[in-house]
Amino acid sequence: MLDLKFIRENPDKVKVGIAAKRTTVDLDLLLQLDTRRRQLIVRIDELKAKKNAANDDISRLIKEKKDPKPTIASMKAIAAEIDALEPQGKALDEQIQNILLFIPNVPHHSVSAGGPEANQIVASWGDKPVFDFKPKTHIEIAENLDIIDFKRGTKLSGSNFILYKDMGARLERALYNFMLDLHTSQHGYREMSPPVVVNTASMTATGQLPKMKDDMYHLEGDDLFLIPTAEVPVTNIHRDEMLNEEDLPLYYTAYTTCFRREAGSYGKDTRGLVRIHQFDKVELVKFVRPEASYQELESLLGNATRIFEILKIPYRVLLLASGDLSFSAAKCYDIEVYAAGMDKWLEASSCSNFEDFQARRGNIAYKGKDGKKKGFVHTLNGSGVALPRTVVAILENYQTPEGNVIIPEALRPYMGGLEIITRR
């Protein structure tokens, strides 16, 4: 969340940020509540000082064998007023906190204003594959090879769930093992295997709650949530902790299954792998010193794009405009891969810098060698990468005229040396 002092001193900047994120928050009400709260604190402090002085007077009067009753009565009246004001202060704190939780992060100055139409292509790599036949979509290929069963996935769990089979399941496993090995051996990440259900505090810290509750799967009986991304549990590893500055940066990677209801987002792409409720993803999370966070974002982007370069999948990088940024992000790059059968660019990774927005919500601070708190860390995360659309790109870009799929060379050791997927 944003620092209340920052909001108080930069209300116009925050209002511009709220509008840029295409959301609405009553910032004027927040500032009014904050003023009342600070006035109340001053009054309570004054009363406590009077109460302490009265206590001292009572002790003195008793020692001097004088009547303390008038002073005692005065002290009781002061105490009664304090008791009446403190619940008001607590109520104001709750109102302020509830509004703060809905204020999005302010976009970085390098981010353009506008919606998706204002996104900028800032990099690209690789050439689109050229075929001497009409390329099939991943749906046709997967069904013909019998490696993904869309109908039975729906039978098991409902629409937009899928069942990987045989070499489809093997390809999925090969991909996340390849990614984890690359990130841990070459990019300096420490592997984690977190829970895929988390509590409300965890979802609130990373910014999914309360604003995006409708997109989450909630286990009401336990008040737990299925994770939409490993960003949530991995970032929360250090919630309510004080990190040592000399230990920064910290790089973590994790493979998990992810769950998203994506309420109201359907209407197209309802078949296939492009938009599903449950999917696998390798996540990259960083905890860094504030002054290094934008350099770390560029490094994070490079870690994610390296996956596609090794797999020889054409990609492009988009710098998202303010209206396309997530609630918590200050700056974000999307990586889109090309899928020949659909003839589309598909988002397969997002790499974001949240600055201290998540760290404030989750109370993730850091201290210097002197043991004194220096501030909040900056958190970053990126998909390293999401599997469904990567699978789409492999199936569609590596297809043969016979409908088979050549396995990218880097994945073959993870596929038992297999070079091509054919129908069994």
What DSSP designation does 118 have? G
The predicted pLDDT at position 206 comes to: 98
**Within this chain, do residues 20 and 151 fall inside the same structural domain, yes or no?**
no
Cα–Cα distance for residue pair 53/332, rounded to 1 Å: 56
Into how many domains does the chain fold?
Answer: 2
Catalytic residue among 37, 275, 360, 361: 275
pLDDT band of residue 263 (cuts 50, 70, 90) is low
Domain stops at, among 74, 100, 126 = 100
Is residue 225 one of the residues assigned to a domain? yes
Q: What Å distances lie between residue 220 and 153, 157, 224, 236, 369, CA to CA?
A: 24, 19, 7, 21, 44
Query: What would the mean pLDDT of 210-228 be, rounded to a whole number?
Result: 94
Domain stops at, among 67, 100, 133 = 100
Buried b (16+ CB within 10 A) or exposed e, 400-415: eeeebbebbebbeebb
Q: CA 348 from chain center: how many Å? A: 15
Is residue 107 one of the residues assigned to a domain? no
The predicted pLDDT at position 265 comes to: 52
Query: What would the mean pLDDT of 75-98 be, rounded to a whole number?
Result: 96
Strands (E), 139-272: 148-149, 163-164, 190-192, 197-199, 217-219, 224-226, 241-244, 250-259
Taking only the tens place, the pLDDT of each residue in 111-120 is 999 999 999 9
Taking only the tens place, the pLDDT of each residue in 62-85 is 999 899 999 999 999 999 999 999
Is residue 108 one of the residues assigned to a domain? no
**Within this chain, do residues 352 and 294 fall inside the same structural domain, yes or no?**
yes
Whether the CB-CB separation of 149 and 165 falls below 8 Å is answered with: yes
Structure tokens of 407?
């396995």
Is 350 designated active site? yes
pLDDT band of residue 388 (cuts 50, 70, 90) is very high
Taking only the tens place, the pLDDT of each residue in 343-385 is 999 999 999 999 999 999 999 999 999 999 999 999 999 999 9
% of the chain with per-residue pLDDT over 70 = 98
**Within this chain, do residues 144 and 80 fall inside the same structural domain, yes or no?**
no
The predicted pLDDT at position 409 comes to: 98
User: What region, left, alpha or beta, does residue 47 occupy, with left being phi > 0 and alpha being psi -120 to 50 degrees?
Assistant: alpha
Is residue 344 one of the residues assigned to a domain? yes
The predicted pLDDT at position 268 comes to: 55
Catalytic residue among 143, 241, 309, 347: 347
Q: How far apart are the two ends of the chain, measured CA to CA in Å?
A: 53
The predicted pLDDT at position 142 comes to: 98
Phi, psi of 215 (to 5 degrees): -90, -5
**Within this chain, do residues 60 and 130 fall inside the same structural domain, yes or no?**
no
Catalytic residue among 172, 202, 231, 260: 260
- Inform me whether the pLDDT recorded for 210 exceeds 80: yes
CATH of the domain at 28: 1.10.287.40
The predicted pLDDT at position 269 comes to: 57
Catalytic residue among 350, 355, 360, 383: 350
Query: What would the mean pLDDT of 150-176 be, rounded to a whole number?
Result: 97
**Within this chain, do residues 270 and 353 fall inside the same structural domain, yes or no?**
yes
DSSP per position, 268-282:
S--SSSSS-SEEEEE
Cα–Cα distance for residue pair 143/166, rounded to 1 Å: 12
Is 336 designated active site? no
Query: What would the mean pLDDT of 17-45 be, rounded to a whole number?
Result: 97
- Inform me whether the pLDDT recorded for 232 exceeds 70: yes
**Within this chain, do residues 73 and 131 fall inside the same structural domain, yes or no?**
no
Cα–Cα distance for residue pair 328/102, rounded to 1 Å: 10
Beta pairing class for 224-226 and 217-219: antiparallel
The predicted pLDDT at position 231 comes to: 98
Taking only the tens place, the pLDDT of each residue in 121-143 is 999 999 999 999 999 999 999 99
**Within this chain, do residues 250 and 324 fall inside the same structural domain, yes or no?**
yes
Q: CA 114 from chain center: how many Å? A: 21
Is 260 designated active site? yes
pLDDT band of residue 270 (cuts 50, 70, 90) is low
Catalytic residue among 231, 355, 389, 396: 389
Bridge partners, 37 (sequence order): none
The predicted pLDDT at position 262 comes to: 72
Is residue 106 one of the residues assigned to a domain? no
- Inform me whether the pLDDT recorded for 393 exceeds 80: yes
The predicted pLDDT at position 271 comes to: 80
User: What domain range includes position 154?
Assistant: 116-421
Round the CA-based radius of gyration of the chain to a whole number and report it: 27
Kind and range of the H or E element at 43?
A: helix 27-63
Domain stops at, among 68, 100, 132 = 100
Closest CA to 352 of 332, 369, 372: 332
Mean pLDDT of the chain: 96
Query: What would the mean pLDDT of 39-43 be, rounded to a whole number?
Result: 97
Kind and range of the H or E element at 142?
A: helix 138-145
Kind and range of the H or E element at 318?
A: strand 315-319
Is residue 111 one of the residues assigned to a domain? no
Phi, psi of 67 (to 5 degrees): -75, 115
The predicted pLDDT at position 424 comes to: 84
Taking only the tens place, the pLDDT of each residue in 286-342 is 999 999 999 999 999 999 999 999 999 999 999 999 999 999 999 999 999 999 999
Structure tokens of 327?
């609630």
**Within this chain, do residues 147 and 25 fall inside the same structural domain, yes or no?**
no
Whether the CB-CB separation of 366 and 244 falls below 8 Å is answered with: yes
Buried b (16+ CB within 10 A) or exposed e, 236-274: bbbbeeebeeeebbbbbbbbbebbbbeeeeeeeeeebbb
The predicted pLDDT at position 136 comes to: 98
Of residues 242 and 214, more confidently modeled: 242
**Within this chain, do residues 81 and 213 fall inside the same structural domain, yes or no?**
no
Is residue 109 one of the residues assigned to a domain? no
**Within this chain, do residues 320 and 414 fall inside the same structural domain, yes or no?**
yes
CATH of the domain at 323: 3.30.930.10
**Within this chain, do residues 44 and 134 fall inside the same structural domain, yes or no?**
no
Q: What is the pTM of this model?
A: 0.93
Beta pairing class for 120-125 and 315-319: antiparallel
Is residue 307 one of the residues assigned to a domain? yes
Bridge partners, 315 (sequence order): 125, 337
**Within this chain, do residues 185 and 53 fall inside the same structural domain, yes or no?**
no
